Each structure stands twice: as C-alpha cells, then as structure tokens.
C-alpha cells in the first residue's frame, strides 16, 4: 500500500531496547534482594555484638579529645564532660573511682577519674581546664546509664571552663570527629593484632574471622597487661 512501510524491529534499534528492558527486569529484583541482604547482615552484626564504625554514636556538635573524652558547652556557660562511645563499646560497663569533687580546679591533661572492670583499670584525663561544678550522681546510682546514653544522661562532670576556645581548638568536631572515630577503630584493630601476640595468644577469639571484625566489649575479656598497653596507646594526654 502506497505510503505504508514495514520496519523489522530486529533490523533496527528495537532489539537493543528489548535487551535493556530485559536487563532492567533482572536488575530490579536483584537490587531488592541485595538491599535485603545488606539489612540482614547489619542486623546480624548487631545481634552478634560485632563492633563496626556504623555502630558508633558520634554527635556532630560535641568536641572530642584524642584521649576519648568529650566536652560540650551549655547555655549556662558550664561544659559537660564524659567518655566517648568508642571507649565504652570497648570496655563495656565500668565502675568509676578517683573522682574529683565540686570546687576542685583542674587543668587540661589532669587525671579526673579511673574506670574499672574486674580489677582492670584505665585512667581518664581531662580535655579542658576549669572548675568542677558537679559530678553526675548516676555514676554510682546507675553506672549502666553511662553506656546507654554517654552524651546525654551519661555525662561525668559539669565544669566551668577557663580556656574553652584555646583548648577545644585541639579537639575534633562534626565530620572530623566522625572520621577520627572510624580511624581510631581501625587503629584499635591493628593494636589488638600486635598486643595479643605479646600477651594473650588465646585472646585471638576477640578478632572474628569474617573480615577481621572485633567483638563489642572486646577489652573486657582481655588481661590487665593489654589494658595497660591500651592506656599508653589511646588514653594518655599529650
């Protein structure tokens, strides 16, 4: 018929469109399945108590010190101070000792507390200078709160700072704090690999086979010698 033409789809671009459509039809369910696997893996890691960077709580408005304490300036002019989430994930629930009293004057780098787990101790040093206003009563009444809410109800001290700007300029905040925390977790994995060879070969069970992941509260089951090494490597003031 005049004015009518027939196009063979397989002789034109049509076959390419069919291939693309078929590819997308396969890709979509594969993508859905992959996302399910990722979510299931994340849930499994949580159940197994595997410590990863995604587990860490890192509020973006706090100042994080290199010795794993944090400070936050409140509207009152006082600064709250506590332990960061990474340190608490490594140690598990701890008891506090050698605490300062309200009215005490401290300087950046001073010993402000000791944390203890089954006779093993770590010393905690202040990231800022100032005067102690108050100590959190929950430290003794409900020490588990420190782990449950380390940046809220789990604060340790309220301090009236005396050199806030100068001293917090040496801390990490926002995205820098997130990157630093992730790097510290990786550095801890390397630290474990070395220190366990020296002190506790049997402790290699702390490091899992799947990608070298570490267990939550991994320090809790390790001997005091490793706690001492951890103290020197991660918690000492500059």
**Closest of 229, 147, 148, 149 to residue 188, by C-alpha:** 229
- Do 74 and 164 share a domain, yes or no? yes
Residue 172: DSSP 8-state: B
Burial 101-139 (b: 16+ CB within 10 A, else e): eeeeebebbeebbebebeebbbebbbbbbbbbbebbebb
pLDDT tens string 108-134: 999 999 999 999 999 999 999 999 999
Whether 1 is in a domain gets the answer no
pLDDT at 47: 35
Spatial distance between the Cα atoms of 123 and 121, rounded to a whole number of angstroms: 7
Range of the domain at 131: 59-238
Spatial distance between the Cα atoms of 87 and 150, rounded to a whole number of angstroms: 10
Whether 149 is in a domain gets the answer yes
- Do 29 and 83 share a domain, yes or no? no
pLDDT at 33: 45
Spatial contact of 79 and 164, defined as CB atoms under 8 Å apart: yes
Whether 4 is in a domain gets the answer no
Number of compact structural domains in the chain = 2
Classify residue 31 by burial, with Cβ atoms within 10 Å: 0-12, 13-18, 19+.
exposed
The DSSP secondary structure of 194-238, one letter per residue, reads HHHHHH-GGGGGGB-SSTT-EETTGGGGS-HHHHHHHIIIII---
- Do 101 and 192 share a domain, yes or no? yes
Pair of tokens at residue 14: 């049509």
Whether 54 is in a domain gets the answer no
pLDDT at 39: 38
- Do 22 and 103 share a domain, yes or no? no
pLDDT at 153: 95
CATH number at residue 234: 2.40.50.100
- Do 36 and 75 share a domain, yes or no? no
Mean pLDDT estimate for the chain? 83
Q: How far is CA 199 from CA 35, 49, 90, 173, 224, in A?
A: 41, 24, 18, 35, 9
Which portions of the chain are predicted below pLDDT 50? 9-10, 30-48, 208-209
Whether 3 is in a domain gets the answer no
pLDDT at 12: 54
Spatial distance between the Cα atoms of 31 and 37, rounded to a whole number of angstroms: 10
Spatial distance between the Cα atoms of 205 and 49, rounded to a whole number of angstroms: 13
């Amino acid at each position: 018929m005049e004015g009518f033409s027939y196009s063979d789809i397989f002789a034109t671009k049509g076959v390419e469109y069919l291939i693309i459509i078929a590819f997308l039809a396969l890709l979509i369910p594969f993508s859905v399945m992959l996302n399910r696997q990722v979510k299931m893996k994340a849930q499994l890691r949580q159940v197994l108590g595997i410590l990863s960077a995604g587990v860490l709580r890192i509020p973006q408005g706090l100042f994080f010190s290199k010795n794993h304490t944090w400070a936050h300036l409140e509207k009152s002019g006082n600064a709250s101070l506590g332990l960061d989430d990474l340190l608490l994930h490594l140690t598990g629930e701890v008891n506090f000792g050698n605490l300062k009293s309200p009215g005490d004057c401290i300087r950046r780098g001073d010993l402000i507390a000791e944390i203890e787990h089954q006779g093993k101790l770590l010393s905690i040093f202040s990231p800022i200078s100032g005067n102690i206003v108050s100590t959190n009563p929950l430290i003794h009444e409900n020490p588990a709160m420190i782990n449950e809410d380390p940046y809220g109800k789990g604060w340790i001290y309220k301090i009236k700072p005396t050199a806030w700007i100068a001293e917090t300029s040496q801390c990490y905040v926002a995205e820098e704090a997130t990157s630093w925390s992730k790097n510290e977790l990786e550095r801890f994995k390397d630290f474990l690999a070395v220190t366990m060879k020296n002190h506790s070969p049997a402790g290699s069970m702390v490091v899992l086979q799947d990608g070298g992941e570490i267990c939550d509260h991994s320090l809790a089951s390790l001997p005091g010698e490793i706690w001492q090494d951890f103290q020197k490597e991660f918690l000492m003031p500059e």
